[in-house]
Amino acid sequence: MNPPAGQCVDGANIRLAPVAHPFQLFNTLTRKVENVEPLVPGQLTFYSCGPTVYSFAHIGNFRSFLTADLLVRTATALGYDVRYATNITDVGHLTEDDVTDATGEDRMARALRSREGQQFANVWDLARYYADELISDWKHLNLREPSVRPRATEHMREQILAVQELLDRGHAYETKQGVYFSVASFPGYGSLSGNLDATTLEQSVRDVVSDPEKKDARDFALWKKDDAHLMQWYSPWGWGFPGWHIECSVMAMQYLGDEIDIHAGGEDLIFPHHECERAQSEALSGKPFARYWVHTRFLQVEGKKMSKRSGNFHTVRDLLASLEKGGRGVDPLALRMTLLAGHYRKPYNFTFDTIRAHTRHRERLTEALRAVNMDPMDAAQGAGTSDPASMGSFEPLYDRALAAMSDDLNTPEALAVLFEGVKRILSASPGLSRDEQNQAAAWLHGMNRLLGVVYPEHEGAQEPSATQQDDTHIDELIEERQKARAEKDFARADAIRGELTALNIEVMDSPDGVRWKRKTTF
């Protein structure tokens, strides 16, 4: 179903004309690609599971977050009014979360005892710190801010009330150790993940079940009684903390309603998290919880599963940090481009060769921006237009990219269109007329709103920080070298060039002046 014409699509109040592309996504629940038909025509409610904030987020986390971001961008470009919620889990996530009723140690408590965790006075400070750092990484990678970003610890009353309601409705029961959801009370359990065989499910959790009073090995905790836990609250069942799954049900329903259009996350969340979340949500409301379930496949690094033991574990923070700060100095938008280069529904192999390739693409994008006299910082503040009607001969390119993204978020095809357009701009430069420059600029605006890789959108994202270096010293050396050349002091000019080379700076002299760039070191 297409949205109505004239829909306001973002903070810049840019209105796009109605388009002919249906929005299609693969629905994990039905195992097929479907046209998205929202509950309310022209509006879209979307919930995506966020991270547990016990450390810096890694690139595997952000591949899933980017899928959600691209979904929002595409729906917005199509004219939908999107309400997007993504949570922060800051309590209740246990280490053995790949089974229905997770046991093991709380991830937050374990992080507090780590070498990095010793800087924090308590687990609450640790959670706040890593939540703030997540949002910083989020902005550097050009992810759109959600409509709301709820935190589990700030919705404890609602979780307790939801558990009590499940008890009252006969979908839960209490033991000496906790309160459990009764899987047998929900006939549809297993249909999302395909885990429909009760015996198989029982076998998958048998070794970790620690409560002899549980009625069924498949039952999962809604509340864990534990007066020794670092993060605990008082409830009708005593001191303790909520099970991991209940938080997302409560926050999604509070901010988006009992029924939502789309729910997303990584493929590791299909079972048990999303299976359990779906069961308890529908048991609470008596309505279908989410119409479409979207899941991102795992990421490998250099052909191997990412792990600290293998030495291929990369946080966004480490990749973006400058060389002086012990990082890799990767351009944030080159990293974003690399992570979305593979289709979200296919396993993706992340390599430094691909980062190098996309760093070159980013350099060509910068050249294209210069060719159309477009200032990225003005663009980030909403200057200019992305209306396809103003793109002139570039409009078919935009339409092709939007068609690709509307077809189950086909990012490889959309990026190919972007590169094609950039090549066209650079081939015509510097002979572009002012009108052609305006059309190309409008197209670049539109492509950035669709893919987020042309220029940064968040205020301060280009300020010198942990992820970017101060260019003042470089500019001073360039100016000094130019002065030496003008005075024919070529020995001094060559010496300065040597200093710049030692700083991994490549200097390019041309009739139009001096340009420089940082050489990749990864």
Tens of pLDDT, residue by residue over 228-253, are: 888 889 999 999 999 889 999 999 99
Domains 24-296 and 322-451 share a fold: no
Decide if 355 contacts 175 (C-beta within 8 A). Answer: no
The distance of Cα 501 from the centroid of its chain, to the nearest Å, equals 35
| Residues 368, 143, 369: CA angle, nearest 5 degrees | 10
Euclidean distance between the first and the last CA atom of the chain, given in angstroms as a whole number: 46
* Paired residues of 148 in beta bridges: 85
Q: How far apart are CA 361 and CA 77, in angstroms?
A: 23
Amino acid letter, residue 324? E
The per-residue pLDDT for 230 is: 83
**Max CA-CA distance within the chain?**
89
Of 206, 212, 156, 203, which is closest to residue 180 (Cα–Cα)?
A: 212
For the chain, domain boundaries: 24-296, 322-451, 472-518
* The pLDDT of residue 117: 85
pLDDT of residue 7: 39
Beta bridge partners, 427, equal none
Shortest CA distance to 419 belongs to which of 497, 373, 363?
363
What topology is assigned to 322-451 in CATH? Isoleucyl-tRNA Synthetase; Domain 1 (1.10.730)
Torsion sign (Cα): 467, 345, 394, 425: positive
CA-CA distance, 364 to 429, in Å (whole number)?
A: 12
Query: What whole-number distance in Å separates Cα of residue 335 and Cα of residue 346?
Result: 18
SS3 98: coil
Residue ranges of the chain whose pLDDT lies below 50: 1-2, 4-18, 95, 203, 206-208, 462-469
Q: What is the b/e burial string over 306-338, where b = at least 16 CB atoms within 10 angstroms of the residue's CB? A: beeeeebebbbbbbbbbeeeebbbbbbbbbbbb
Give the number of C-alpha atoms closer than 13 A to the C-alpha of residue 138, restricted to the C-beta side.
20
Q: What is the pLDDT of residue 167?
A: 98
Model pLDDT, residue 322: 82
Asked if residues 280 and 245 have their Cβ atoms less than 8 Å apart, the reply is yes
CATH of domain 24-296: 3.40.50.620
Nearest to 454 by CA among 330, 368, 388: 368
pLDDT at 22: 94
